[in-house]
Amino acid sequence: MFQVGEVSRRLGLNPQTLYFYERIGLIPSPQRNEAGYRLFSQQDMERLAFISRAKSLGLTLDEIKEILALKDGQLLTCKAVYDRLSKKVQEIDDKIRQLRSLHDELVPLVDRCSENLHTSDNQCIVLSHPLQLID
């Protein structure tokens, strides 16, 4: 059994994160010793490691909670995971398209600013012609 400090060190999690996960039901309430300290089992550690890994893949806590609920209910089929991960990939693809569009809008503005960096005029050309931002 592991106390909060050990879990935090091993998994690189802030102790407050553990309390938060418990409060929102992402992890079950751990056992407690006679002094009232939380004690995490190896199974708890594995669940927390899964949560950390899923977060690093971009899943939200709600998405992780849904997958864990399926797992806990023994309903975690390949199809269920596939559906959720496919949806996440589509969201990421949409976000990439949005970011590319934003990038493509900003690059010309940066280029215009760059052209005037070494002039004696301290006025930013982009700010002095705001209507040109709409082009």
Residue 8 clears pLDDT 90, i.e. is over it? yes
Of the pLDDT bands very low, low, confident and very high (cuts 50, 70, 90), residue 23 is very high
Q: Write down the mean pLDDT value for the chain.
A: 85
CATH (one of 1.10.150.50, 3.40.30.10, 1.10.1660.10, 3.40.50.1950) for 1-57:
1.10.1660.10
Residues 6+ apart with CB under 8 A from 131: none
Phi, psi of 123, deg, nearest 5 = -75, 130
Instruction: Express each pLDDT in 76-88 by its tens digit.
Output: 788 888 888 899 8
**Are the CB atoms for 2 and 39 separated by under 8 Å?**
yes
Residue 90 clears pLDDT 90, i.e. is over it? yes
Q: What's residue 129's pLDDT?
A: 62
Neighbours of 125 (CB within 10 A): 14
Instruction: Express each pLDDT in 25-67 by its tens digit.
Output: 899 888 898 888 889 999 999 999 999 999 998 889 998 988 8
Decide: residue 43, CB within 10 A, 0-12 exposed, 13-18 middle, 19+ buried.
exposed
Please state the domain extents for the chain: 1-57, 77-135
pTM, two decimal places: 0.65
Residues 6+ apart with CB under 8 A from 48: 7, 11, 13, 18, 21, 27, 40
Q: Can you tell me which residue has the tokens 């992780």?
A: 64
Of residues 109 and 127, the one with the higher pLDDT is: 109
